[in-house]
Chains A and B, each alone.
Chain A
Amino acid sequence: MTWIGLGAVTLRQGWCTQAEAGCRRGESTAVHDARIGSASPATVSLEVRRTVSARTRDLWVGVGTAVLFAYLLLVVIPNQIRTPASIANIVMSPAFWPAAIAVLAIVLGLALAAKAFITGSADDDGESSPTTWRSLASIGIMIGYYLLLEPLGIVLASVIAMPALSALFGERRVVMLAPIALLLPVGLYFFFTEVAHIPMPLGPLSDLI
């Protein structure tokens, strides 16, 4: 029974997955189409540019994948995997499986690049473009958070990192942020240490308790 259903699935999944990609961003492809129709000329050119960039993106993703895995295959695998000298069958070597994946990925990457080069990418999901500096800033906050974990302990670092990220969202109301930024890390600390009995690093605060 299960296997009979399979044919139907694979036949239809092209529709499903494309619509899914659109809907993940909260707008169906149909809405996207409609918007091109009614939008001002400026918006239309923006939409067109996005379709083009979807194609170049695929080209770069494909080439990037191939280059990354070629590097892994030719440099990293020989240096980082020690293979025993006496192996009867090459398939049994510890390096065989990682190397096989790398070869597969190079082929896939080149295929994606070739497809984008020849046909152009058909699936543009028309998402609103995110702002790069904001994403970089949020990554910066996360790295800072990590670096503070050891010296300040998990509670203090969280008390600092949470409002920092809120501020990046544009939230400035200290009265609203302060209680949550204090209560959540403290609450989690007591949950893990008292209920789950998992010790948490407290940093300088450990002298106080």
Chain B
Amino acid sequence: MLDLLASGFALFASVNNVLAVVIGVVIGVVIGAIPGMTGTMAVALALPFTFYMHPITAILLLVGIYKGAYFGGSIPAILIKTPGTPAAACTALDGYALAQRGEGGKALHIALYASCIADVISTLALIFLAGVVASFALRFGPPEFFALICFALTITAGVSGSSLLRGLISAALGLFLATIGIDLVYGTTRLTFGEPELMSGLNFIPVLIGLFALPEIIDAVARPDLRGTGAKPVGARRASWPDLKRCLPSIGRGSLIGVVLGAIPGIGAAPAAFLSYSEARRKSKTPERFGKGAIEGVAAAEAGNNAVCGATLIPLLALGVPGDVVTAVIMGAFMVHGLSPGPMLFEQNITIVYALFMGILLGSAVLFIAGRLAIGTFSRVADIPKAVLFPAVLVLCVFGTFAVNNNMFDVLVMLAMGMVGYLMLRLDIPAAPFLIAFILGPMFEDNLRRSLLLSNGSLEIFFRSWIAVLFLALTALSVVAVIRKNVRFRGRPPIAGARVDPESDTAAPPR
């Protein structure tokens, strides 16, 4: 064990890796802080730049961006009420109210402390649990994986949109597109329309970039410009020790919620932030202050969404099943370097895993420093004009997509997916289930057919082991729960605490 740790450290301890973590976190914080830019977009755009790097350096850079972007999103959420990421929407509820009272600095510092504490807890959970889950998953065969992927797909579709049906439709589109290419069992071509470029299927990175970056560009162009939204000043007040002490229980609860929800593949950060926020409100002695500038609300929301970061890497590393879009991108980075995450990674490349853990832990410390600096310099980031930013993003998309395989066809795929993505945005169909389904689709089909090959076509194989039965039962349970939820709570306000003072903001800019 110790010598493995030592060799993991030796693998990690290089200038490049440390630099990757630092640069990643800084890029993440900056991009997360720009209104209209999301962490997913940042990670997607950064991926092509990491191909030439050592796998550990590449993955640490991406994980750094992931972490940084979650905190970065809280800055515009608090100062201009335009959450950079959906997960930061809860932060805006109390954070903006505080900023209006001139206490933006206090809110930002608490958000940073909560993010860093949650991040450390989450990383520790990753370090201690991933190995256990992986050794458990060694016993998984095709039926167990099939059941697990079933579960992950349902959760993703149910959580990431405003309705289960639209989420499922999005997932079905992703599943269907993933079937293009050579059939895995018989080797016949499927849906290629005689196009040789389609033989190996649609490449993941053009689909990803097209789906998550282009629609944002088109959307930014299509909306009337609302520049000069006026960020509230940070203010001189910082968070004091009593402030932090008051928030610690909320941070602790939020971290726990984030870790648990993050570890379930498919849920992601936004529900964790919302659940953590509503728990903090429920447990509070003065729940009426929530939404009007309760510092605990900021702490709870930020702890909830940052605690998801490390925990989502548990199913990715230990099972090879990405839990959200960002981990799907990180999985793509593993694949590009010829590594496949999953139980076998722990068996064969445990030193790589340890090296990653060390880098991720370092990331928490870097986040603290980068966050302190970002709070001071935010106003300059927010002033980057959209007219320069988004055209630059378009150029990055084209260069990055082309660089993947040196292939013009990939650029075409990216553009086509961008239009599909924009259509989905306009029709309010969530894009995340599409991408997760696109990634999980081939795994789903492969495990289904391999199970049936093993059992000679009998469905009974899925009920032979308790693990598969458990996941299938959970799938059924979550479908029922989501349907009941959709029916019963129709028309209710989203969260009771989400009511913002009507006078507080009359012209909320779209992002």
Contact = CB atoms under 8 A, between A and B. Distances in A.
Interface of A: 1-3, 5-31, 33-35, 37-38, 54, 57-58, 61-62, 65, 69, 72, 76-77, 80-84, 88-89, 91-92, 94-95, 97-98, 101-102, 104-105, 108-109, 111-112, 115, 119, 122-123, 125, 127-128, 130-132, 134-135, 137-139, 142-143, 145-146, 149-150, 154, 158, 161-163, 165-166, 168-171, 176-177, 180-181, 184-185, 188-189, 191-192, 195-201
B369 interface: no
Interface in B263-281: 263-264, 267, 270-271, 274-275, 278
A184 B89 CA distance: 32
A29 B485 contact: no
Give the contact-size bracket for chain B. 35 or more
B402 interface: yes
Given A22-B494, A76-B191, A142-B418, 5 more contacts: A12-B275, A81-B189, A130-B219, A132-B222, A196-B51
B399 A154 contact: yes
B511 interface: yes
A158 B395 contact: yes
B224 interface: yes
A16 B490 contact: no
B30 to A, nearest CB: 16
A108 B141 CA distance: 30
Which 10 A/B pairs are nearest by Cβ-Cβ distance?
A23-B89, A19-B494, A171-B387, A34-B502, A10-B481, A130-B222, A169-B387, A16-B274, A135-B222, A105-B172
Interface stretch (B10-18, B231-239, B343-351, B407-415): B407-415
A184 to B, nearest CB: 6
B452 A92 contact: yes
Nearest to B151: A6
Interface stretch (B98-106, B142-150, B175-183): B175-183
Given A21-B428, A81-B188, A89 B169 contact: no
Contact of B490 (A111, A122, A128, A200): A122
B391 A81 contact: no
Contact of B500 (A28, A54, A57, A191): A28
B491 interface: yes
Nearest to B223: A130
Contacts of A115: 165
Interface string B392-414: 10111011001100101001100
A84 B186 contact: yes
A34 B445 CA distance: 48
Contacts of A123: 162-163
Given A27-B510, A149-B398, A9 B418 contact: no
Contact of A177 (B166, B388, B500): B388
A158 B401 CA distance: 14
A169 B482 contact: no
A170 B489 CA distance: 43
A85 to B, nearest CB: 11
A32 to B, nearest CB: 9
Interface stretch (B153-161, B324-332, B358-366): B153-161
